[in-house]
Amino acid sequence: HVDNEVYLGRALERLGDAALKEQEPDIGAAFLKFAVVTKELSALMKTL
């Protein structure tokens, strides 16, 4: 389960980068923020 969340965080990060390259800064920033939250939550889940 935690591994899937790590993969999701990476995918969201790639989506954010792609959106930034396509001149969509708001969408890109939102994806990048969601990626950070997902990665932090998955790191916390690993310690449980």
Record the pTM: 0.84
For residue 13, count other CB atoms closer than 10 A to its CB: 17
* Domain range summary for the chain, segments of one domain joined by +: 2-47
Torsion sign over Cα 2, 4, 7, 11: negative
Q: Give the DSSP per-residue string, 1-46.
A: -HHHHHHHHHHHHHHHHHHHHTT-HHHHHHHHHHHHHHHHHHHHHH
**2, pLDDT greater than 80:** no
What confidence category does residue 35 fall into, taking pLDDT thresholds of 50, 70 and 90?
very high
Q: What's the mean pLDDT in 32-44?
A: 94
Instruction: Please check whether residue 4 is in contact with residue 37, taking contact to mean a CB–CB distance below 8 angstroms.
Output: no
Predicted local distance difference test score (pLDDT) of residue 36:
95
